[in-house]
């Protein structure tokens, strides 16, 4: 990008970004200039539609040698630094490749994938979930770097936060939440040491050129692989929790994933309950007063796999 060229992020993109806290609002006010500086520093030429999503803002670019890439901009905080750490360690194995980064300014230069073709387009659900299983196996097989959040710490925090949430829920939901806490507490002493993605749902798998499918938008975490299953179990059908076929879908996906990853199903079901607990605590923090219907569906569908609780 030439010194005198101007780059702007469309106002509609900035307005559409979830500015839920002061740090994000402050970042949004500076991100156009940050993008301009990084484009110049890394010798990038912007092209195509600038997009925004839950994880950040993405600018399609070409590098100086003509290679297509994408400039991803996120709020520069712990989660962004964790993403850079994880992507650096994975080095493109099952996941989008990180080409350059600036953690202090929340910038990542990543390889260009096919943003309009996610795993959601695959008609055969068994094929789709096997793609997830294959990617998770590769991601989990890479040793975790130092400096990432650890599942044991997260579990301890959830157990501490659960009593406050129980005061907000009705009696039936309190009983369910208490059951999750008790079963999760039983495995919390062995939280695992694998490098997890933490958010590998169907929409976070995109078609690529160097491989058929690659993961994007990781939130790297060190822990038990069973904690990484819920996003795939929940994908798609959860927009309609009343879908009568949802329990069968959940069980089928769970069976495929646990077989591919060689996981103990009882333990994996308990760690999936830990994800349901985590999501519910986040919901309560956001003002919800009931456990989400989709979470209850997943919990009930996996009940036969849990030996306790």
Q: Which residues are catalytic?
A: 199
SS in 3 state form for 178-231? HHHHHHHHHHCCCCCCEEECCCCCHHHEEECCCCCEEECCCCCEEECHHHHCHH
Cα separation, 71 vs 101, in Å, equals: 9
Euclidean distance between CA atoms 84 and 101, whole angstroms? 7
As a whole number of angstroms, the distance between CA 7 and CA 1 comes to: 9
Q: 84 in helix, strand or coil?
A: helix
Burial (0-12, 13-18, 19+ Cβ within 10 Å), 270 = buried
Q: How far, in Å, are 92, 129, 149, 292 from residue 282 at the CA level?
A: 31, 26, 17, 11
Structure tokens at 264: 């103990």
Cα angle 242, 122, 297; round to 5: 20
242 class by beta-carbon count within 10 Å (0-12 exposed, 13-18 middle, 19+ buried): exposed
């Amino acid at each position: 990008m030439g010194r005198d060229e101007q780059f702007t992020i469309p106002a509609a993109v900035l307005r559409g970004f979830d500015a839920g806290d002061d740090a994000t609002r402050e970042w949004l006010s500076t991100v156009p200039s940050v993008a301009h500086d990084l484009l110049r520093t890394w010798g990038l030429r912007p092209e195509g539609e600038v997009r925004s999503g839950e994880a950040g803002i993405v600018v399609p670019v070409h590098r100086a040698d003509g290679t297509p890439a994408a400039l991803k901009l996120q709020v520069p905080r712990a989660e962004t630094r964790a993403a850079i750490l994880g992507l650096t360690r994975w080095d493109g194995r099952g996941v989008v490749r990180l080409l350059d980064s600036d953690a202090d300014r929340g910038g990542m230069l990543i390889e260009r994938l096919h943003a309009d073709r996610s795993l959601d387009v695959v008609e055969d659900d068994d094929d789709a979930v096997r793609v997830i299983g294959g990617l998770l196996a590769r991601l989990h097989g890479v040793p975790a770097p130092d400096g990432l959040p650890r599942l044991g710490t997260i579990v301890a925090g959830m157990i501490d936060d659960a009593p406050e949430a129980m005061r907000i829920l009705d009696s039936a939901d309190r009983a369910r939440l208490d059951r999750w806490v008790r079963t999760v507490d039983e495995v919390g002493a062995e939280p695992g040491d694998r490098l997890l993605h933490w958010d590998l749902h169907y929409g976070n798998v995109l078609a690529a050129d160097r491989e058929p499918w690659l993961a994007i938008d990781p939130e790297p975490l060190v822990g038990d692989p069973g904690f990484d299953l819920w996003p795939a179990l929940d994908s798609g059908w959860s927009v309609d929790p009343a879908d009568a076929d949802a329990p069968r879908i959940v069980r089928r996906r769970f069976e495929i994933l646990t077989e591919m990853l060689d996981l103990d199903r009882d333990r994996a079901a308990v760690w999936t309950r830990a994800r349901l607990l985590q999501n519910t605590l986040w919901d309560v923090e956001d003002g919800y007063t009931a456990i989400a219907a989709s979470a209850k569906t997943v919990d009930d569908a996996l009940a036969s796999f849990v030996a306790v609780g």
